[in-house]
Chains A and B, each alone.
Chain A
Amino acid sequence: MANIKELVKQKELFTGGHRGCAGCGAVMIARQVLMVAGPDTVVVSATGCLEVVSTIFPYTAWNVPFLHSAFENAGATISGVEALYKSFTRQGKINKKINFIAFGGDGGTYDIGLQSLSGAVERGHNILYVCYNNEAYMNTGVQRSGATPKGADTTTAPVGKVKKGKEQYRKDLTAIMVAHGIPYAAQAVAGNWRDLTSKVEKALSIEGPKFINVFQPCRLGWAYEPELTCEMGRLAADTCAWPLYEVLNGQYKITYRPKEKKPVAEWIKLQGRFRHLMKPESKALLDEIQALTDKSWEDLRKKETASTPAKAV
Chain B
Amino acid sequence: MAKSNIIARTGNEAMAEAMRQIDPDVVAAYPITPATEIVQIFAGYVADGVVKTEFVPVESEHSAMSACIGASAAGGRAMTGTSSQGLALMAEMLYIAAGLRLPIVLADVNRALSSPINIHCDHSDTMMLKDSGWIQIFSENAQEGYDNMIQAVRIAEKAKLPVMVTTDGFIISHGMERIEILSDEDVKKFIGEYKPEHYLLKVEEPITIGALDLPDYYFEHRRQTAQAMIDSKSVIVNVGKDFTAKTGRSYELFEKYKLDDAEFAIVAMGSTAGTTKVVVDSLRAKGMKAGLLKPRVFRPFPKEEIAEALKNLKAIAVMDRSDSMNGHEGPVCLEVKAALYDKGLNKPVVDYIYGLGGREIRVQDIEDVYKEISGLSRTKAVSEVKYLGVRE
Contacts and interface: CB of A to CB of B under 8 A. Distances in A.
B237 interface: no
Contacts of B53: 87
**Top-10 shortest CB links A-B:** A80-B70, A80-B67, A119-B59, A76-B63, A68-B210, A76-B66, A73-B66, A60-B208, A87-B54, A80-B71
A91 B209 contact: no
Contacts of B76: 84, 87-88
Interface centre among A57, A58, A69, A119 (most CB of B within 10 A): A69
Interface in A191-208: none
A119 B58 contact: yes
Nearest to B213: A57
Which residue, of B54, B66, B73, B206, has the highest number of chain A Cβ atoms within 10 A? B66
14 contacts: A40-B203, A55-B212, A57-B212, A66-B210, A76-B70, A77-B66, A79-B63, A79-B66, A79-B70, A83-B67, A87-B25, A87-B53, A90-B54, A91-B25
Interface stretch (B92-100, B175-183, B263-271, B319-327): B92-100
Contacts of A118: 59
A70 interface: yes
Contacts of A84: 25-26, 54, 70-71, 74-76, 78, 201
A150 B125 CA distance: 42
B102 to A, nearest CB: 10
B314 interface: no
A188 to B, nearest CB: 25
A69 B69 contact: yes
Interface string A89-131: 0110010101000000000000000011011001100000000
A62 B208 contact: yes
B75 to A, nearest CB: 7
A57 B63 contact: no
A66 B62 CA distance: 20
B52 A87 contact: yes
A91 B194 CA distance: 14
Interface in B196-213: 200-203, 206-213
B92 A80 contact: no
Q: Contact size class for A?
A: 35 or more
Contacts of B63: 73, 75-76, 79, 115-116, 119
Contacts of A153: none
A44 interface: yes
User: Most chain-B Cβ atoms within 10 A of its Cβ — which of A64, A118, A122?
Assistant: A64
B200 A67 contact: yes
Contacts of A57: 211-214, 217
Given A62-B206, A69-B93, A84-B25, A90 B52 contact: yes
B211 A56 contact: yes
A51 interface: yes
A80 B201 CA distance: 12
A87 B52 CA distance: 7
Given A70-B93, A78-B70, A87-B25, A64 B203 contact: yes
B57 interface: yes
B217 A58 contact: yes
A62 B25 CA distance: 26
Per DSSP, chain A at the interface is mixed
Nearest to A79: B67
B236 interface: no
B124 to A, nearest CB: 24
A28 interface: no
B214 A77 contact: no
A72 interface: yes
Nearest to B59: A119
A50 B46 CA distance: 37
Contacts of A98: 201, 203
* Residue of B56, B201, B208 with highest tally of chain A CB at under 10 A: B208
B210 A69 contact: yes
Q: Which of A81, A88, A96 has the most CB of B within 10 A?
A: A81
A56 B209 CA distance: 11
Given A80-B78, A90-B52, A98-B201, A123 B57 contact: yes
B366 interface: no
A19 B84 CA distance: 41
B60 interface: yes
A88 B207 CA distance: 19
B52 A76 contact: no
Contact of A70 (B54, B92, B203, B206): B92
A103 to B, nearest CB: 13
Interface in B295-343: none
Given A58-B217, A119-B60, A67 B70 contact: yes
B208 A81 contact: no
